[in-house]
A and B are shown apart, each in its own frame.
Chain A
Amino acid sequence: MMRFIRPRLRKPLLRGIALLGIAGAWVIGSHTWEPAIVIAVVAVGQTVYRYTWAGEDTDESALLGSRADERQKQVGLRARALSGSVAMAAAYIGLVIALAVKRADAWPFAALLAVTGFAYLLGLSSYGSGEPGPEDEVTAGRQARYPVNS
């Protein structure tokens, strides 16, 4: 479905839809419309703002506009890795504090910690940590002919 949407619009639109999801959850949970309308207006506004921003000539705009090159994708990946690490650390700290003060509602921190930890393991297996296979037929049982520097 995303293929039918202009690349520059994809991420701004996804973020807008995510905000609309929060607005919808608010309506379902509290049965009040006013805050949800404010969130919906913010969702539309930020979509327009991000769409405009995505057209500029910067690394952030290229990432936002889904036209990042290899270096920009690497920057984006590192930023995502950092956000994942921070989320995991925050979940751990939250869990420790919640347990220390004997709060019964520590489970969201435990769940977030479990999800981030599982996502890390999933990433390792998805992106090739298990790929190295058996030794090849030439080097098996032989010593390296050439000195290995590292």
Chain B
Amino acid sequence: MTLAELRGARRRREDGEAHAGGLHATTADYIRVAVALFIITSIEVAIYYIEGLRGVLVELFLALSGLKFLLVVLWYMHLRFDSRLFSFMFAFGLSMAIALFIAMLATMKAGLL
């Protein structure tokens, strides 16, 4: 579902659909993202209750929430269509935060579980 969205958005860009001052996501895009967020969250809540998936729970949740994160950042926050500089700044801050705190937790031998 998400891949189709991505492809859909790219096709629209190639069709040259532009907005004043730059390319924009459309209202339809926003609704699609909303639906995707709803579905992903439902999946997350569902698998929380599935005992059999306990072993891979961390990986699954990180992947799913990572997906939601990307959807919001790329479409709602418009990074997909905006200057690379914004993406760079944000990604930089985020990477720093992740790297530093993984290092800190590792130093304290704290498991992420």
A and B from one complex: no
A contacts, CB < 8 Å to B = none
